[in-house]
A and B are shown apart, each in its own frame.
Chain A
Amino acid sequence: MLASGRRVYSIGERNSKMRITAGYIPNIGETKFDKKILKFQDLEVELPLLTLEQMQRVIDTVKRESAEILKSLSVSTVVDIIGYVTEQFLDRSSSYRQQAEKLLPIVTGYDEEVIRLGLTSFLKTFRKHELQRFLVEDLGNPLLLDHFQPRAKGGFSKAIGPELITHVWAGNVPALPIWSFVSGLLVKAGNIGKVSSSEPLFAGWFAKALAEAEPSLANCFAVVWWKGGDEKREKMIFEKSNLVIGYGNNETLKALKKQVPITTRFLPFGHKVSFGIISKSALDAHKAWRIAHQAALDVIRYDQQGCYSPHLFYVQKGGKVSPVEFARLIAGELENFEKRYPRRKLSMEESVALASWRQKEEMSTFTETGKEVLGTSTHQWTVVFEEEEKVFTASPLNRVIRVISFEKLEDILPYIKPYRSFLQTIGMAATPKELFHWAELLANVGVTRITALGKMTSPEAGWHHDGRFNLLDLIQMVDIESSAIVDSEQFAPYVD
């Protein structure tokens, strides 16, 4: 009936509210801002809500200071600073880490242990030596970011980061904004990030820790919030940016793109579908259990909310452990994990969606032979097994996984292919020969990352996010052609 708008039904309200401030504003000569309060259970998060004029000053400040200060630092110094800050967030005795462990579970709803493990595995990617990997991976010679470097073809080149990158972050996967924020810092750009209402904290903490670690950088970045779809504001900010990095579903990205002028580049990262493929050669009694364990880990990490999280597992027939037995093994593992790492408490919307999805699946077992729906009566997780199901379908997530048997990979490819622009990660368990053969086939239908089961949610440093480059996509190259150098020789004072 007459329900207006979308609401999240939270159950029970307690009186004692904790309030914290979030976001990060550089010094723009004033400290009084309007406030936006976001409410999460017992926690209120207060974010500065800037007027357009204040926003304008933030933009000017960040542009100016990053040009003067950040761009004057060597890339190795920048790496040192980011690496140092990362270590602080990895150190469980640091106040930053403790704050994150305490507050992120409240804000995102994920279990404390899930957050703790997730943060560590994620942040490891930004330690000093991994940052070096980012640089080498994309640039070969990181000094390109500091000075003109000789090129093999002749001439010299230098990589220049943008004056200003604006990041529009989304979703509730904790700390995820750091990917693009760190990438922006590595190319010495000024960075302004907009946090999402569902995880407004981490990026601001990271900015604050950076400023503490290297006070001269304090005005080189900002972490702000505005209501998504604020067209006037978005237009204004995007016009001043050289690059806008947007996250979200295609609707959101479309709306953002509309505000981006032709002179500003736009890098959209849309929602993605990932899945697993398990070869029969991995399915003997001994190995199958371990693989099921790894597969279940990929499912429970952030309850499949990541773009790299699996929606389903394709399991090959003919192994010692059959696909349906494998489905049961995953079910067993999910049940075990549930005790130690319980699922996030779901909103009423999610609960209903999940319950009705599960019941619909149960109903369909009446007409589809071989199909099985495994789960407990409390719906903490669900495994659906289907025999050679020809359809590629998304999971409602939150620990719901489909296991589908197959004979040959070639049989399932046609069903995956239509989703080309949405495919991302494959978690694979297969022989080396299969791995490379299948990788070829999957690459052709649009998959951009193949990893081991259990690693789906932890991409390596320097991975190609959605097939793209972390740093190369941000910079522009400046070439000094050899002709200019040769020519210049004749004007040297010491010319003979």
Chain B
Amino acid sequence: MTQQREIIEELSQFIKKNQASEEEFNSLALHIFNYQYKHNLPYQTFCRQKGKTPRLVKNWRDIPYVPMSAFKEVPLTCSDPEAAVRVFMTSGTTQGKQGKHFHSTLEIRELSMIINFKERFMKETNRIRMGILFPTEEKMPHSSLAHYLALVMKEFGTEDSCYLLKENGVHIQKIISELEHAEKTGEPFALLGASFSFVHLFEELERLGKTFNLPKGSKILDSGGYKNKSKELDLNEFYQLLERYFGVDRSNCINMYGITELSTQFYDDGNEVVPSIKTGPSWIRTRVINPLTGEEVPEGERGVLVHYDLANFNSVMAVATEDVGMAVDEGFYLFGRVQGAEARGCSLAVEEFIQLAKGTAK
């Protein structure tokens, strides 16, 4: 059995069991770190520079984390990037460089998604009629969210589940007919998609003066924020509107927090109160750190989220985000992506400079 196969087997067991003690998590984390140190050469150099090698690291918290931006700079993978079965990419950035997450197999990623989604979104339901407010995988082969939504529709959607977008936005007639169908038949309906697509949908429904009252058991899942793709809504307003337009209780409006650089997602248990607490399954852990010192901030203080996702076995398990959060007993609050730092004085800020450089390059 190859070393990769061995890790996959071990991980599958771990994920299927879906409960782990600190020691169990630690032991597998160190095992994977060992593997990544050996096979992911840019990461190895990075660890060496930090003076942290598998010989010295005894606790998962000491495993060196890479910033999300590192995925833009070097191929962070334990296997040949050319041979990847799938590459997920982040959406464009100010510098125009996209982060790339190489997958040698989707086996673990999909297992992680399925088990976690079942537990956090489906719960006792096995299948539900779904409407997806996001492009298909074929349209966006490098979008991790497109892959996620396609997978959950395949695994948990009824046969009548469908996509509700068209070329240039939401397919409003189709959405209305789906929602009316649910209202008429009483069959629970799940609306899933990017947060900004919901905002566009609100605008359409407001224009048409339509609201719905979806049957009991209906749910909504949003993910990903707005990313300048729609107007920004205050969290509370967003969930108020979901409730108003679809008649789905805020406790059944779940937000999924996931990033391209990870293989596991976080969920909340509804959004009656915002911000809600996000939690993940047994194979992912999160620390909230001071980005400058790398040290954990005391509970109740804001810091940056660093995730240790065992399902990220082929890339780098420990990833530092640019998301601000706060640790609480059960999980963490997510306050959102840090905005670019402003210039404080009269010196040119890096962001401005980049804009400028792009301008002069034209």
| B-binding residues in A (CB < 8 A) | 1-7, 9, 11-12, 170-173, 176, 198, 247, 249-250, 269, 271-274, 302, 304-307, 309, 311, 346-357, 359-360, 362-367, 377-380, 393-397, 418-419, 422
Contacts and interface: CB of A to CB of B under 8 A. Distances in A.
Contacts of A355: 67, 291-292, 304, 320
Contact of B74 (A367, A393, A419): A367
Contact of B324 (A271, A348, A350): A348
B344 A2 contact: no
A271 B294 contact: no
A465 to B, nearest CB: 10
B86 to A, nearest CB: 23
A360 B338 contact: no
B293 A309 contact: no
Contacts of A354: 291-292, 341
A372 to B, nearest CB: 11
B226 interface: yes
A12 B301 contact: yes
B247 to A, nearest CB: 21
B345 A349 contact: no
A362 B46 CA distance: 7
Given A2-B238, A12-B301, A363 B46 contact: yes
Given A305-B344, A306-B347, A3 B360 contact: no
A359 B66 contact: yes
Given A9-B324, A352-B322, 7 more contacts: A1-B337, A305-B344, A356-B69, A360-B67, A377-B294, A393-B353, A422-B356
Interface in B308-362: 320, 322-324, 334-350, 352-354, 356-357, 360
- Please tell me the size bucket of the interface on B: 35 or more
A320 to B, nearest CB: 29
Interface stretch (B127-135, B178-186, B228-236): B228-236
Contacts of A365: 45, 49
Given A3-B225, A4-B232, A356 B322 contact: yes
A456 B64 CA distance: 38
Interface of B: 42, 45-46, 49, 66-70, 72-74, 195, 224-226, 232-235, 238, 255, 257, 290-294, 301-304, 320, 322-324, 334-350, 352-354, 356-357, 360
Contacts of A356: 67-69, 291, 320, 322
Contact of A11 (B72, B74, B301): B301
9 smallest beta-carbon distances between A and B, as pairs:
A3-B336, A305-B345, A394-B353, A355-B291, A307-B346, A418-B360, A359-B67, A353-B341, A271-B348
A250 B355 CA distance: 11
Contacts of B335: 3, 9
Contact of A2 (B42, B70, B235): B235
17 contacts: A1-B195, A2-B195, A3-B335, A3-B336, A9-B324, A198-B344, A272-B347, A309-B347, A311-B348, A348-B291, A348-B304, A352-B322, A353-B341, A354-B341, A356-B68, A366-B74, A394-B348
B339 A6 contact: yes
A363 B69 CA distance: 9
Most chain B CB neighbours (cut-off 10 Å) among A250, A397, A419? A397
A271 B226 contact: no
A4 B293 contact: no
Contact of B42 (A347, A366, A394): A366
A397 B42 CA distance: 27
B230 to A, nearest CB: 11
B344 A349 contact: no
B338 A348 contact: yes
Nearest to B338: A352
Contacts of B195: 1-2
B66 A311 contact: no
B338 to A, nearest CB: 4
Given A356-B67, A357-B350, A378 B292 contact: yes
B293 A394 contact: no
A249 B291 CA distance: 27
Contacts of A352: 291, 304, 322, 324, 338, 341
A347 B347 contact: no
A256 to B, nearest CB: 15
A347 B303 CA distance: 11
B118 to A, nearest CB: 23
A28 to B, nearest CB: 31
Contacts of B232: 2-5
A304 B67 contact: no
Contacts of A418: 357, 360
Contacts of B342: 6, 349
Most chain A CB neighbours (cut-off 10 Å) among B225, B293, B322, B353? B353
Contacts of A5: 232
B45 A397 contact: no
B343 A171 contact: yes
A197 B5 CA distance: 58
A176 B347 CA distance: 13
A1 B232 CA distance: 10
Contacts of A269: 346
B302 A348 contact: yes
A397 B224 contact: no
Contacts of B323: 1
B340 A273 contact: no
A307 B360 contact: no
Contacts of B292: 346, 351, 354-355, 378-380
A274 B347 CA distance: 8
A27 B188 CA distance: 69
Contacts of B344: 171-172, 198, 305
A249 B354 CA distance: 13
Contacts of A306: 345-347
A249 B293 contact: no
Nearest to B304: A352
Contact of A378 (B73, B293, B348): B293
Contact of A359 (B70, B290, B345, B350): B70
B269 to A, nearest CB: 16
A395 B235 contact: no
A2 B67 contact: no
B234 A4 contact: yes
Most chain B CB neighbours (cut-off 10 Å) among A4, A273, A274, A363? A363
Contacts of B324: 9, 348, 352
Most chain B CB neighbours (cut-off 10 Å) among A273, A348, A350? A348
Contacts of B348: 249, 271-273, 307, 311, 394, 422
A353 B360 CA distance: 24
Contact of A364 (B68, B73, B303): B73
B345 A171 contact: yes
B231 to A, nearest CB: 10
Given A353-B341, A360-B73, A363-B46, A419 B291 contact: no
B346 A170 contact: yes
B302 A305 contact: no
